[in-house]
């Protein structure tokens, strides 16, 4: 299987030597689970797109510091591309910004949450187990970094998992779209760096709770297995 990664942001240059760019994080995570995976990266923030949609078998949209409702030409173009993928029933996985953009593109709504920032390790819980789920615990721990939230799902979207802080944390649309608010690709060290960088913006109380939460390991690989199970299910 060949996965097209739609890159929607750049990692701060000082962090790249240790953590890589966002597509590198997904290649590391998913490539560990399935070494036979192939990847293609398209920097959509810079206008890069596949010449043909079927160049790859499925697409993954990364996180971004941008908000999906911002009036930026590259975001408008990506929204149109997601609509085209949806019309073709091409498989899509959306992560954080990607999760929110899919909702925005397909009749849903993303807004800045009055609950403030979600940072560090959060626990989300499934209401039921979809076919691609491993059948284990309904609760899972994932690193998050967001202030925007999906407040109305895409048309036909079903909320599969959430929390008191983030009700729409995992959403599926039909058999071809799966989105996560959390970041399975993040390492705790990267989450720590982001919180340090945004400390004043996040607020001291939220910052301290977020840093303390990193004492527990995230379940990124478990989520990665779900993603691949979903993508490979015909």
21, 122, 133, 185: the catalytic one is: 185
Domain count, the chain: 1
Rounded Cα gap, residues 89 and 174, in angstroms: 9
Q: Is 166 assigned a catalytic role?
A: no
Taking the C-alpha atoms of residue 183 and residue 206, their distance in angstroms, rounded to an integer, is 18
In sequence order, the β-bridge partners of residue 58 are 3, 91
Under 8 Å between Cβ of 146 and 131: no
DSSP helix/strand/coil, 24: helix
- Closest among 78, 90, 92, 86 to 44, alpha carbons compared: 78
pLDDT at 234: 58
Specify whether the backbone of 98 is left (phi greater than 0), alpha (psi in -120 to 50) or beta.
alpha
The dihedral through the CA atoms of 230, 144, 20, 215 has a sign that is negative
Q: Count the Cβ atoms, other than its own, within 10 Å of residue 164.
A: 9
Catalytic (active site) residue 146: no
Which tokens hold the place of 148?
Answer: 């925007």
Is-above-0.85 flag for pTM?
yes
Give me the CATH number covering residue 161.
3.40.50.880
- Catalytic-role residue among 21, 99, 183, 225: 183
Q: Which domain holds residue 113?
A: 2-232
Which neighbouring-strand residues pair with 143? Answer: 121, 183
Q: What is the pLDDT of residue 191?
A: 98
Note if 185 is an active site residue. yes
Query: What is the DSSP-derived secondary structure letter of residue 84?
Result: H
**83-104 tens-digit pLDDT:** 999 999 999 999 999 999 999 9
CB atoms within 10 A of CB 111: 16
From the candidates 96, 99, 133, 225, which is the catalytic residue?
96
Residues in CB range of 95: below 8 A, 6 or more apart: 60, 61, 62, 63, 179, 180, 182, 183, 184, 185
Residues of the chain with pLDDT under 50: none
Report the greatest alpha carbon distance in the chain: 47
Write down the pLDDT at residue 128: 86
């Amino acid at each position: 299987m060949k996965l097209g990664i739609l890159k929607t942001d750049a990692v701060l240059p000082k962090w790249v030597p240790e953590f890589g760019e966002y597509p590198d994080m997904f290649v590391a995570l998913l490539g560990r689970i399935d070494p036979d995976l192939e990847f293609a990266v398209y920097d959509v923030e810079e206008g890069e797109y596949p010449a043909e949609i079927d160049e790859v078998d499925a697409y993954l949209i990364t996180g971004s510091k941008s908000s999906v409702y911002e009036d930026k030409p590259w975001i408008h173009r990506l929204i149109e591309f997601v609509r085209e993928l949806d019309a073709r029933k091409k498989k899509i996985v959306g992560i954080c910004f990607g999760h929110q953009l899919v909702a925005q593109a397909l009749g849903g709504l993303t807004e800045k949450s009055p609950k403030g920032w979600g940072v560090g390790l959060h626990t989300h819980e499934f209401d039921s187990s979809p076919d691609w789920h491993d059948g284990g615990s309904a609760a899972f721990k994932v690193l998050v970094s967001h202030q925007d939230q999906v407040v109305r799902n895409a048309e036909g979207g079903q909320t599969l998992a959430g929390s008191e802080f983030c009700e729409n944390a995992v959403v599926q649309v039909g058999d071809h779209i799966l989105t996560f608010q959390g970041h399975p690709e993040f390492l705790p060290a990267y989450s720590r760096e982001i919180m340090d960088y945004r400390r004043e913006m996040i607020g001291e109380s939220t910052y301290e709770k977020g840093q303390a939460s990193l004492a527990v390991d995230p379940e990124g690989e478990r989520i990665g297995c779900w993603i691949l199970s979903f993508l490979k299910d015909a």
